[in-house]
DNA sequence: CGCCCCTTTGAATTTTGTCAAGAGCCGTGG
DNA sequence: CCACGGCTCTTGACAAAATTCAAAGGGGCG
């Protein structure tokens, strides 16, 4: 069950450097000292907010992973984005709109709940926050464009390969292992494929030695091989 | 060939009400009186800017249609968005990034070329502009999310149908006709389909009387029929 | 241990893409 | 004015890709 964990102190927050408050100087830090967003914990699979529900709060992800997904009336669903530490989400209310997607943790998570009215005030007062949010929007837009190309112009193997390559470029440990806490079904929902298709390619690549996997952790053994094989002729 | 048509006067601009300057009050209009963006004309098929090129100008589309597309190294390409009158585009430079896509007119067009440095100043001075740009980014992000669902979770017929339905909901004349200045190939690039697939569905629907077409203009004769047929079980 | 969920794999089927050819349309230049 | 070349669009036949259906294997957890 979700539970309030208390009030956050943005100034001393451990992930402030990843948040929209990252660029505040010492002088501006005082301005946010009165801002104590609720820190809320959620279990994997709970709903942080639901699509088409009024958007009154934005959130910053403190740790864990969150998926943003859209569900069609017929039950099919598509994951629109996977969020990481420091990501801001749920700000549709800034444009006067309801949430456009549903936010669900894929692991245990902790988020800061930021009331939009307060956040709007802060944003107006502090140009650094303004700027930081603008950059995030532009970057997300770019990522969304890139994802549309993945979905629209590439085939299954290419999509999966470039997803894995992208994924394994962050948080990879010294030995090259990366946590991949997505089920085959979730990878499918993200890439517009079925579970079976994802599974087939993964198995094939494991057989060929391009990829290793151990309980939710993968290692790209031969990124170049995989890239060459699947992204041949410049599709990745 | 593209050609400079002179300097624009934002205050009296005919499409100001559609632009990021729409919400300025009489008082603020003076602030932009010194801002005279170049007005530039382009022919269909020219390049306004090219992906991976430094982004120093944003643009506002005055009339005509522009497609934003991404080309993969292997030549495959995908249309990421189709712009209409009043749309702002090419602002990647705000995030310090090169253009993420290529902008090409699909008709003769006229744009205002807005130097990012000047636009940034205006944005800082006038909260209305700030606000207006923020809302646009959020809305684009929502549209991008919706498009990802189209591409990832729907099949050919469903994508095409919902595209046509969306398209015909704007600029439809009294008799129900809408200009559709996209070739089958372009519709395909937008929806992640081949020319042939698009053509097959269109022909089929014309045969069935759901759709009429005359030299670049279409009419959805029985939107409900089409919706029922193709979007059965709630996919649209 | 047994249950449940996730994954894998196979086989059949559907969907979409590919290739090829012909039809329609339009503008150019003879 | 008409013929020609270069387009886009359409259509068919076939191939490839991906989904669907079905069944079995595996691992974690109560």
Give the per-residue pLDDT at B234.
65
The reply to whether A193 has its C-beta less than 7 Å from any atom of strand C is: no
Q: Which of A174, A70, A156, A88 is nearest to B234 (CA)?
A: A70
- Nucleic strand C near CB of residue A196 (< 7 Å): yes
Does the pLDDT value for residue B31 go beyond 70?
Answer: yes
Residue B88 token pair: 């702002």
CA B139 from chain centre, in angstroms, equals 13
Binning pLDDT at 50, 70 and 90, where does residue B236 land? low
A21 pLDDT band, cuts 50/70/90, is confident
Largest Cα–Cα separation, chain A: 57
Cβ neighbours of B125 in A, within 8 Å:
none
Distance CA B145, CA B221 (A): 29
Highest average pLDDT, of A19-33, A91-105, B165-179, comes from A91-105
**Edge-to-edge strand order for the sheet containing B77-83?**
B77-83, B66-71, B102-105
Tell me which chain A residues have a C-beta less than 8 angstroms from the C-beta of B70: 145-146, 149, 153
**pLDDT tens-digit map of B110-160:** 999 999 999 999 999 888 899 999 999 999 999 999 999 999 999 999 999
Q: Which pLDDT score is estimated for A1?
A: 72
Q: Say what the pLDDT of residue A235 is.
A: 67
Q: Quote the radius of gyration of chain B (alpha carbons, Å).
A: 19
Q: How confident is the model at residue A236 (pLDDT cuts 50, 70, 90)?
A: low
**pLDDT score for A18:** 87
3-state secondary structure of B165: helix
Interface contact B213, partner A, CB < 8 A: no
Helix, coil or strand: residue A178: strand
The residue of chain A with its CA nearest to that of B94 is A135
Sheet of A102-105, strand order: A77-83, A66-71, A102-105
B163 burial type by CB count under 10 A (0-12 exposed, 13-18 middle, 19+ buried): middle
Tell me the CA–C1' distance in angstroms for A185 and C4.
16
Query: Tens of pLDDT along A35-84?
Result: 778 999 999 999 999 999 999 999 999 999 999 999 998 889 999 999 99
Q: What is the mean pLDDT of chain B?
A: 90
Condensed to tens digits (0 to 9), the pLDDT of residues B170-183 reads 888 888 899 999 99
A121 touches B at CB < 8 Å: no
Q: Which nucleotides of D are covered by protein (CB under 7 A)?
A: 8-13, 17-22, 27-28
pTM of the model: 0.93
pLDDT at B7: 79
Tokens of A35: 């801002």
∠ CA A134-A135-A139 to the nearest 5 degrees? 120
Contacts of A43 (CB under 8 A, 6+ apart): A1, A2, A105, A108
pLDDT of B83 reads: 97
Edge-to-edge order in the sheet of strand A217-220: A177-179, A217-220, A211-214
Share of chain A above pLDDT 90, in %: 67
Taking alpha carbons only, the member of B28, B124, B17 closest to residue B62 is B17
Write down all domains in chain B, each with its CATH number in brackets: 3-151 (2.60.120.10), 155-234 (1.10.10.10)
Spatial contact of A69 and A179, defined as CB atoms under 8 Å apart: no
Cα-flanking dihedrals φ and ψ of residue A218, to 5°? -125, 160
Residue B226 vs residues A49, B194, B205: alpha-carbon distances, Å = 33, 21, 8
**Residue B76: count of CB within 10 angstroms of its CB:** 16
Q: Which nucleotide has the shortest C1'-to-CA distance from A158?
A: D17
Tokens 């990012």 belong to B116
pLDDT at residue number A15: 86
Q: How far is it, in rounded angstroms, from Cα A55 to Cα A94?
A: 8
**Which pLDDT score, from 0 to 100, does residue A164 have?**
95
For A193, the token pair is 């494929």
The confidence score (pLDDT) of residue B2 equals: 77
A194 → chain B, closest CA residue: B153
Bridge partners of residue A6, in order along the sequence:
A39
Q: How far apart are CA A67 and CA A166, in angstroms?
A: 17
Is 70 exceeded by the pLDDT of residue B215? yes
Helical packing angle, B184-191 and B156-167, nearest 10°:
110
């Amino acid at each position: 069950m979700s539970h309030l964990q208390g009030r956050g102190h943005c100034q001393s927050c451990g992930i402030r450097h990843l948040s929209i408050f990252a660029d505040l100087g010492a002088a501006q830090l005082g301005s946010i000292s009165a801002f104590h967003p609720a820190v809320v914990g959620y279990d994997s699979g709970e709903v942080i907010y639901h699509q088409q529900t009024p958007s009154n709060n934005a959130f910053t992800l403190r740790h864990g992973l969150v998926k943003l997904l859209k569900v069609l009336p017929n039950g099919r669903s598509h994951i629109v984005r996977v969020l990481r530490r420091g990501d801001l989400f749920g700000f549709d209310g800034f444009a006067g709109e309801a949430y456009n997607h549903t936010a669900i943790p894929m692991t245990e998570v902790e988020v800061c709940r930021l009331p939009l009215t307060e956040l709007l005030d802060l944003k107006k007062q502090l140009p650094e926050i303004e700027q930081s949010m603008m950059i995030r929007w532009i970057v997300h837009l770019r990522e969304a464009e890139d994802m549309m190309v993945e979905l629209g112009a590439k085939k299954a193997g290419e999509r999966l390969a470039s997803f894995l390559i992208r994924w394994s470029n962050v948080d990879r440990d010294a030995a090259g292992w990366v946590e991949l806490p997505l089920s085959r079904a979730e990878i499918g929902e993200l890439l517009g494929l079925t579970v079976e298709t994802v599974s087939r390619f993964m198995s094939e690549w494991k057989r060929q030695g391009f990829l290793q996997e151990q309980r939710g952790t993968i290692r790209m053994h031969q990124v170049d091989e995989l890239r060459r094989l699947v992204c041949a002729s410049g599709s990745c």
